[in-house]
Amino acid sequence: MRHLILFLFLFSYFPGFSQSDDLQIFNLKTELTNNANAIVRLDEMMVDIVSKKEMVLKRKKIVTVLNEAGNKHAVAFVGYDNGKKVRNIQAKVYNALGNELEKIKEKDFKDVSAVDGGTLYTDYRYMYYPYTPVSYPYTIELEYEISTKNTGELPAAWIFLDDFLVSTEESSIHINFASPELKPEIKELRLENLDIEKVVTANSIQYLAKNIPAIKSESLCPSFSELAPLVRLRPVNFYYEGFDASIQSWNDLGIWMSSNLLKGRDELSPVTIGEVQNLVKDVDGTLEKAQLVYEYVQQNTRYISVQVGIGGMQPISAIDVDRVKYGDCKGLSNYTMALLKTVGVEAYYAHVEAGNEQVDFEDDFPDLAQGNHVILAIPHEGSYYWIDCTSQIHPFGFIGDFTDNRKAFIIKPNGGEIVRTTSYLNEQNQQLTKGDYTLQLDGSMNGKVSIVTKGIQYDSHFNLTDKTEEHIKKHYKNFWNNINNLHINSYEFKNDKKEVVFREDVAISATNYASKSGDRLLFAANAFNKNKYVPGRYRNRKLPFEIQRGFYDEDQTSITIPQGYSVESVPETMTLETTFGTYFLQIKEENGQIVLERRLLVKAGEYSATEYGAFRDFMKNVSKHDNSKVVLKPIL
Amino acid sequence: MIIERMLLVVTLLACFQTRAQEVEFGNVSKEELMETSYAQDSDASAAVTFRKQETYLLSSNGILRLITEVHERIKIYNKDGFEYATEKVNLFKAGSDKEEVRKIKASTYNLEDDKVVEYSLEKDQIFDTAMSFNYDQVKFTMPHVKEGSVIEFTYSISSPFVWNIDEFRFQRDIPVKHLMAELRTPKGFNFRQTQKGFLILNSKKTTKQDHRLGMEVVITSYDLKNIPAMKAENYVDNIDNYRSGAMFELVSIDIPGTPYRSYAQTWQDVAKTIGSSSDYKNDLDKTRSFKEELKTVLGGKTDQLQIAKDLFKYVKDQTEWNGLDGKSFQNGIKKTLKEKKGNAADINLLLVAMMRDAGIRANPVILSTKDNSMPFFPTVDRLNFVIAHAFIDGKDYYMDATEEFSDINLLPVRDYNWGGLLVDNHNKVWKHITAIKPRKANNIYALDISLDSEGYAEGNFKSRLSDHSAYRFRENFKNRDLDEYLNEMEQRYLGIEISDYEAGNTDTYEGMVTEKFVYETENGADVIGDKLYVHPLAFLRMDENPFKLEKREYPIDFGFPFRDRYMVNIKLPQGYVVESMPENVLVHLPNELGSYKYVVKKNAAGIQLSVTFDLNSAIISATNYSELKEYYNQIIIKGSEQVVLARASNEHNQSTAGSR
């Protein structure tokens, strides 16, 4: 939603030329049908860099769809915008015997806007044909051509696989360049052990890959883009929307961005300058000023995406954002940067790949295609303070799990560099839970609990402050879905934005928490923080797995039992120590009360497929012990 | 013809004077800006404080247009309310006929230094997007919006589609403080007004003479205050069906000097109107394109029900639904057969035509699907779908061949939406049938468990699903990767480990689905001290109430009624005896809407449990919500109760002692 639209548009959907094919499906190799919903029979891309200002992409893609789940990989679809012309688009559909069923001509394609819920306007559009399959398997052949002046929009990568559960029979990219300076840089990733032919001549580069089996996704496995074989491509000398570029390093790219796309975008009206300077007049330090300006932006603007012209890469000017008080990540970041400048605080515009998954920029591959979001880096005493100007609620300097711990590209007036954003490590992502509850004869309970969160755990709790009562009650009913008939009697929050600590105080009650077995009462002592996550079981795990963020939970609960009952048994103390983390649970009887102590540490890390079973056992054990029961019996 | 005549009449009407508005544009008070929450609903992130809508016909230069003027003011209380600061207007187009939006005027008001400051929307902040071949979208978002802002806009939509008066939607997901709406139609053109939702609308009907022209107009007006917000919750088919509003449809034209024309006055009228369209009148009996082929398919069969079954299967096999609704042909019978696909009418009317050709009394039944709207009143426009009906040996058979797993008298759940309209031109029967309802699914789950003294359990699971339960299973199961499917199932079933999984009869649409597997788990019982605590329903128990909210404003839609029976046999570990067992219960929902029966007993090998869970109605009204919630609560409590097993020696000694 709040991503910037980069050159990526056409990432996996490009053009082609022609040859005759045998499209019947009886001789498909089992290595290709294994785990596959669709097979890319042929994916051919021909890139012609005719001059610095002329590029033609031709693509031909033939996909055999084996079942309904494969349909999405065979959509006759091409995206484009004002800078591109789509030509000679056509598609053909074949049945299992290879007989042509349907021919779809250019005029049959639907032409629609790509505007979505989070975007007010974009000139990005796509042409597509909604084909209804009549039987499986079937084959779709799509051909089209795109021409553009923007050689900067060279496809950022050629991925030899389409997606999880799709195999490739043949996939090739062929790049012709008119002169040596138009030769793109190439980076090969995961091409080892594949049937790949590479041909390089003075004015062309070609890769041809054959017979790549489908990959099946498994829980916690790396993302598709980290598993698939691909070549990254980047233009060195290129043209983009009125600007020439020659990029050898991230530093070059930084200079190019700041002297072209960002240049002159930071002007502000004297009224606004006066207002901001007045805002910080009573504080001195860089961070104090920056924080006031950031909070001013948070209170006065909101995120709305408008992508017009080169809006995909260039921010709306600060003066325009100031006029309407909304913008996308580029516009709001640039605006904040301009405001900071007027009060003497330096901040840098930074491209980053945002999302829960941490994706790094490549140190040695400077291009504009990496990243989907813009944030700001404020240098201070040798380190950077990062702010996300699209968030109206995050504390100053806290970026949470949207952009944490990943390499990003900082654009400085005189250069650029790759820098890692703030990391929140294992124990820093903390949750401390303290509570007590009283059990009644009828099995009902009532109690109070406080939850204090920090780091990434703060990030997933603190936004409760802004929510409605209805939302908050729903949240707790889900959060404690181990307690049925939960009633939230009261709640109170304290959001310490300075220390980035969030505290929730909640009073709850529930009927039938303890269950009756004969005259005994049974209940799980751990009411407030039960581990719910046990990763799925794989009979034959193939892929490695990663835990991107660790966390640490500590719990203390005391439980008052009903009059006339005594403790018949409590579970034994349990300690687990593994590569993946540690767990401790103790439930004791103390002065007629039950006291629970629990600690769980899960560590971030990358692990091999063979370790998966052990990790699963660890989480399974945690769940099992979190559920262990206390038995009460009546005193006779 | 009618349009032309109407044109003549309305040309004379010219435009009307707009009446004075209650709230004047731009007149925003400090008090409004200082308000921090909505008085009647403190949870509201924003509220419509005023809306006025006027819809009327207008003729200019001899061209008739339907005009809708909107004036709206919204108060934004917090950040969640920012989404209401963006207004979208969808404008439909067909060929050269286009809806247009004009005269957009909008402002944001903020309180700054105790003064009301207005920020106007400028032209370059309005975006016009060609969304698709049949509609454009005009969109704008307000400048300078922050918590506490008041925004206000007016615009006017001019539509050439004068017959399509959009629903007047009064209720939204935010509260509306004051709403005025008015529809003005020329006298003689009679529009039926139908109210929907739970609010009392009290519309007023007046007529007004336009003295200048000497013509009369009929005014239908609404003046509503404090309309509460309505948001979607679990188990609702389509929330818009329950939001209050008014719908309009032209039912007759009665103008002196022209013949009286009647449209959809009653369901019978609607059926006749649709029945007289060429798709229904002639095309259904055109059989040339399939006559020969059917001979081979049916091969001289005479049993009508068997023929209907064969044709149903034939159409399902031969055609694929393109996902589009429709009560009229998109392709027509011939092209549908050739291309093997089409919209709902292409497929189901083809089936009707084939059955007719085979001598069956077959007819279309027209309906509105759940995602479309609830057909509260006789309407042509708001019916969007057609299915096939056959009448054989005095029995009704309903068929929808668009979906892979539908069967005869087992329609996709979306089709069960307050009945349908039978259009039987041959026998002159046009009627509304309310009896199209989903059958009750009858499912059995059987579990044989053997338990050891460490709490480890292994067992066999078998199930048999019928009707819509089978249908739903097949849809979910289709094209699933089995490993992943089992992986999810293991998680859902409290971490048991499954092997030898088999699902039977999943690829066809007929008969029941069966499932079986072997499983093991370390968590078969809680071992506490020297006792074992066992959940007799094991992993089949329900442990979370799907109904969490305190109250509910609209019905709960389960899709179809069902009976789930659970039969569990637990073999005890060697040397253990039953110390205590949960009590048997029978819980009822009121009005025989459902019941839950739980019977557990000891037998020679161990424990035997039988649970029968009935839900007898697909839809349960909001008035029964609290009983339903409590019903589920009782079921969960019962499921949480455990059998206590103890070592036999003590128990045995005691019982021997007792017998002496």
Indicate whether A606 pLDDT > 80: yes
Contacts of B623 (CB under 8 A, 6+ apart): none
| Interval A68-82: pLDDT, tens | 889 989 888 888 888
Query: Among partner residues B141, B340, B528, which is closest to A304 by beta-carbon distance?
Result: B141
pLDDT tens, residue by residue, A553-565 = 999 999 999 999 9
The backbone torsions φ and ψ at residue A5, rounded to the nearest 5 degrees and listed phi first, read -95, 115
Task: Looking at the complex, report in whole angstroms how far the Cα of residue A267 sits from the nearest Cα belonging to chain B.
Answer: 19
What pLDDT sits at residue A331? 92
Measured between beta carbons, which residues in chain B are less than 8 angstroms from residue A629? 526, 528, 533
Q: In which band, very low, low, confident or very high, does the pLDDT at A23 lie, cut at 50, 70 and 90?
A: low
Q: Which of A121, A484, A568 sits opposite B545 (nearest CB)?
A: A484
Fold type of domain A426-634? Jelly Rolls (2.60.120)
Is B530 in CB contact (< 8 Å) with chain A? no
Q: Between B139, B490, B543, which is nearest A537 by CB?
A: B490
Q: Each residue of A128-139: pLDDT tens digit?
A: 888 888 888 999
CATH code reported for the domain at B441-648:
2.60.120.1130
What pLDDT does B18 receive? Answer: 38
Chain B residues whose beta carbon lies within 8 Å of the beta carbon of residue A113? 129-132, 137
Q: Does domain B2-262 have CATH number 3.40.50.300?
A: no
Q: Give the per-residue pLDDT at B240.
A: 76
Question: Distance from A207 to chain B by nearest Cα, in Å?
Answer: 32
Q: Which of A1, A111, A112, A121 to mutate to test the interface with B (most CBs of B within 10 A)?
A: A121
CATH architecture of A7-240: Sandwich (2.60)
Cβ of residue B402 closer than 8 Å to a chain A Cβ: no
Q: Show which of residues 147-166 on chain B sit within 8 Å of chain A, judged by CB atoms.
A: 147
Provide the shortest C-alpha distance from residue B286 to chain A (in Å).
24
Domain positions in chain A: 7-240, 247-420, 426-634
Q: What stretches in chain B show pLDDT beneath 70?
A: 1-21, 62, 210-215, 233-234, 237, 262-265, 375-376, 649-660
The structure tokens listed for A462 are 């603190």
Instruction: Report whether the peptide linkage leading into residue A137 is cis, meaning its omega lies within 30 degrees of zero.
Output: yes
Which residue in B319, B544, B637 is closest to A481 by CB distance?
B544
| Chain B residues touching residue A219 (CB < 8 angstroms) | 487
What is the pLDDT, as a whole number, of residue A4?
Answer: 39
Selected residue of A515, A534, A539 to mutate for chain B interface (largest B Cβ count, 10 A): A515
The share of chain A scoring above pLDDT 90, in percent, equals 69
Residue A290 has pLDDT above 70, yes or no: yes
With CA atoms as reference, report the closest residue to B411 among B340, B491, B509. B509
What residues of A are in contact with residue B319 (Cβ under 8 Å)? Answer: 134
Contacts A468 to B, Cβ<8 Å: 42-45, 80
Strands B420-424 and B361-367 come out as antiparallel
Out of A58-62, A277-281, A289-293, B288-292, pick the least confident: B288-292
Q: Is the CB of B546 inside 8 Å of chain A's CB atoms? A: no
Residue-level pLDDT at A396: 95
As a whole number of angstroms, the distance between CA B321 and CA B643 comes to 52
Q: What is the pLDDT of residues A250-280, one digit of tens each?
A: 999 999 999 998 999 999 999 999 999 999 9
The residue ranges of every structural domain in chain B are 2-262, 267-433, 441-648
Which fold would CATH assign to domain B267-433? C8orf32 fold (3.10.620)
* pLDDT value at residue B123: 86
pLDDT for position A424: 94
CB contact under 8 A, A113 and B580: no
The span from the CA of B399 to the CA of B364, in Å, is: 10
Nearest 5°: phi and psi at A628? -70, 145
Contact A341, A388 (CB under 8 A): no
Say whether residue B37 is in contact with chain A using an 8 A CB cutoff.
no
Binning chain A into helix, strand and coil, the percentages to the nearest 5 are 20, 40, 40
Contacts with B131 (C-beta within 8 Å, 6 or more apart), sequence order: A112, A113, A115, B90, B137
pLDDT at B587: 93
| Dihedral over Cα of B488, B489, B493, B494: its sign | negative
CB contact under 8 A, B579 and A522: no
Give the side-chain half-sphere CA count within 13 A for B206: 8
CATH match for A247-420 among 3.10.620.30, 3.30.870.10, 3.40.50.300, 3.40.30.10: 3.10.620.30
Residues A363-372 have a mean pLDDT of: 91
Residues B488-511: tens digit of each pLDDT: 898 888 889 999 999 999 999 999
Q: Quick check: A68 and B479 CB within 8 A?
A: yes
What is residue B551's predicted lDDT score, i.e. its pLDDT? 77
pTM for the complete prediction?
0.80
Residues in chain A within 8 Å Cβ distance of B322: 130, 132
The closest CB to that of B487, out of A69, A113, A537, belongs to A537
Interface probe for B, chosen from A122, A132, A166, A508 (most Cβ of B below 10 Å), is A132
- Least CA distance to B480: which residue of chain A? A69
Q: Which of B533, B537, B629 to mutate to test the interface with A (most CBs of A within 10 A)?
A: B533
Q: Indicate if the pLDDT at residue A1 is higher than 50.
A: no
